[in-house]
Each structure stands twice: as C-alpha cells, then as structure tokens.
Amino acid sequence: MQKMTKNNKIEYIEKFLEGIRDICNTVSQETIDQITEIFFQAWLRHNTIFFIGNGGSAGTAMHFSADISNAAAEFENLPQIKSQSLVENIVRYSALVNDRGWNNVYLEQLKNYFSPGDIVVAISVHGGSGKDKAEPWSQNLTAALQYAKDNGGKTVGLAGFDGGAFKDICDLCLVVPYNTTPHVEAFHVVIHHLIFDELKKRITKAAQSFDTNEKK
C-alpha cells in the first residue's frame, strides 16, 4: 500500500491529480473556444466533421464523434451535426491497411467522403511525431490532415507533449502541455466533453433565434 501524505492523501493519487491541476491552469482556453466555434460553424454550414486517431486516441475519436453527432438532437426541426469517426468500420479499415498501407488508412476514406469546408479532427498524444519499433508514429494522421488542407478543408489537432507535427500542419492545435500519455489522453476526453457541452448551448441559442425570427 502506498504511504499516506499529509491530510490523508495517497501519494501516487495526489501526484496524478496534481498533474491534472497543472494542465487546467496552463491549457489554452482560447484554442478550446476556437475549436468549439469551428464546430458550430460546421453545423451552420452543413459541413461534416471527421474524427481520427490511433490506439487510445481512436477510442477518444469514436466517443467524441458520437457525442458531437447528438449536439442538436433535441431539435427535430433543425439539421443535425454531420459527424463521422473513421476508425469504426473494421472491415473497411483492415482492408485499407492490407491494400493501401497503414499510412493511408484515413486518407483513402477521406477520398470517399470529404468535401470542401469539411473538418478533420486528429487526436494524438505526441501530435504525429516520434517513433517506435515499427515506424514513425501517426503518419496516417498527418497524411489525412494534409489531404484536408489540400482539398479546401479545415484541420484541428488535439495533441500533448510539445504538440509535435500537429502544431505546424493544423489550423487549430490544442496542446495538452504535459509529458505523460495518461494525463494527455485523459485530458483530451475532458476537452471533448467541455466542447460538446458548450456546442449544445450555442446550438440551443441559435435555435431560439431561428424560432424568434420565424414568428415575426
């Protein structure tokens, strides 16, 4: 059992939570707000938001996309947000890995679905930089982001550590300024819920405005 610190706090838990507090005090609130607004504009303009990621970030991409899809759900008379995760169809996904290579697994899907004005949201702890035994990390993410930029789209990155390649390639890059994977991945989920909650409020306000204008 871990030793207790003062005030009956358990040392390893307190250390982890201290990291979360540090992130809360240093993460860019302005960038979070800008991402929320770009999502809101996508809803107004009927653009699609695509979410991509690898490993744990693939799970965040699916969760984020699922929530965003429901941001306007209570308004049956209004268009819904078009949101799509590109990591869910394992048959399509594995076929592309086999036939076109890991680095093209998201790019090839975008060729099917992407239109000018759409948004690609890439999630990665290291921001598309670094490498391990296989090859450089997350080249499939940077390839998809570049495709979006080259085809009239917008790009959003959620990264950690120093932001990696996302800092240079993304129109908006939110960096969780911390150097451990558990903290970065956990806080990406916090950000996703924060954005979702505010997006619902902006859509509600817009819906009320639409309703007022229709009654005039």
Global confidence as pTM: 0.92
Which secondary-structure segment (H or E) carries 40? helix 29-45
**Mean pLDDT of the region 187-199:** 98
pLDDT score, position 137: 74
Whether 114 is covered by a domain: the verdict is yes
Domain assignment present for residue 103? The answer is yes
By residue range, what is the domain housing residue 115?
28-215
Residue 2 is assigned to a structural domain of this protein:
no
Does residue 17 fall inside a structural domain?
A: no
H or E element at residue 108 = helix 107-113
Contact in structure between 45 and 117 (CB atoms under 8 Å): yes
Of residues 128 and 176, the one with the higher pLDDT is 176
Domain count, the chain: 1
CATH number of residue 37's parent domain: 3.40.50.10490
Cα first-last separation, the chain: 67
Identify the helix (H) or strand (E) that includes residue 19: helix 11-26
Q: What percent of the chain has pLDDT over 90?
A: 83
Q: Looking at 103-107, 136-140, 146-150, which range is the least confident one?
A: 136-140
User: Is beta strand 4-5 parallel, antiparallel or unpaired with respect to 9-10?
Assistant: antiparallel
Partners of 182 in the β-ladder: none
Has residue 136 got a pLDDT over 80?
no
The kind and range of the H/E element at 206 are helix 181-215
CA 22 to chain centre: 21
In which band, very low, low, confident or very high, does the pLDDT at 185 lie, cut at 50, 70 and 90? very high
Helix (H, G, I), strand (E, B) or coil at 120: strand
Q: What is the pLDDT of residue 196?
A: 98
Whether 20 is in a domain gets the answer no
Q: Which two tokens stand for residue 159?
A: 């990264």
CA–CA separation, 202 and 216 (whole Å): 22
**Has residue 23 been placed in a domain?**
no
> Is 6 inside a domain boundary?
no
- Classify residue 148: in a domain, yes or no: yes
